[in-house]
């Protein structure tokens, strides 16, 4: 059977903590692995505002799964998703038909590597920017302290013409 590329997005109720959210994503990942699907991407989008309220919730925790599978295995995945009452909504979409599995896995690995490099570069840039901001703040604090010390020294030394007369 031909493998197709699919994308499933699940929306988890926002009142669950990160451990529950991770457990749910691991459960879906386990179902995909049990069905012998090739997971290309698991992307946690975090909590976002919903377009309309679902079960009185204004927000939901979004998780994206991008994977390769045959069409008949999607039914089992969606059945497992429907069973979990922590998942408010889900949607599975076929992104591409008759995909060359080996080539697509290589592409996904390259995309993952590039994403990790970009994330590392972004983190390094943020670290550098924070260090530069701290250095500028330290210089500003030192200049302010020096100015205050100069002002205090000026106030302590009263000029001779302003001093009261000695015999008066």
SS3 (DSSP) at 98: coil
How many helices and strands, by DSSP H and E, does the chain display? 3, 4
| pLDDT recorded at residue 115 | 86
Spell out the domain ranges in the chain: 4-99, 122-154
Structure tokens at 93: 């979409």
pLDDT, tens digit (0-9, with 9 covering 90-100), for 25-71:
999 999 999 988 888 889 899 999 999 998 889 999 999 999 988 88
Cα separation values, 99 from 74, 108, 111, Å: 16, 13, 17
| Residues facing residue 91 across a β-bridge | 9
H/E element, 123: helix 101-156
Q: Does residue 127 carry a pLDDT above 80?
A: yes
Length of the chain: 168
Q: The whole model's pTM is what?
A: 0.69
The model's confidence at residue 160, banded by pLDDT at 50, 70 and 90, is low
Q: Please, what CATH class does the domain formed by 4-99 belong to?
A: alpha beta
pLDDT, tens digit (0-9, with 9 covering 90-100), for 77-110:
999 999 988 999 999 998 888 877 788 888 888 8
């Amino acid at each position: 059977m031909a493998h197709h590329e699919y994308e499933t997005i699940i929306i988890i109720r926002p009142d669950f903590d990160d451990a529950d959210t991770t457990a749910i994503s691991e459960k879906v990942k386990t179902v995909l692995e049990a069905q012998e699907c090739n997971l290309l991407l698991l992307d946690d989008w975090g909590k976002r505002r919903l377009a309309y309220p679902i079960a009185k919730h204004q927000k939901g925790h979004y998780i994206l799964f991008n994977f390769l599978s045959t069409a008949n295995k999607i039914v089992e995945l969606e059945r497992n998703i429907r069973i979990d009452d922590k998942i408010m909504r889900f949607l599975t979409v076929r992104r591409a038909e008759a995909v060359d599995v080996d080539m697509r896995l290589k592409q996904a690995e390259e995309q993952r590597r590039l994403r990790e490099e970009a994330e590392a570069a972004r983190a390094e840039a943020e670290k550098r920017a924070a260090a530069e901001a701290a250095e500028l703040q330290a210089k500003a604090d030192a200049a302010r302290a020096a100015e205050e010390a100069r002002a205090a020294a000026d106030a302590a030394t009263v000029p001779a013409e302003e001093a009261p007369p000695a015999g008066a």
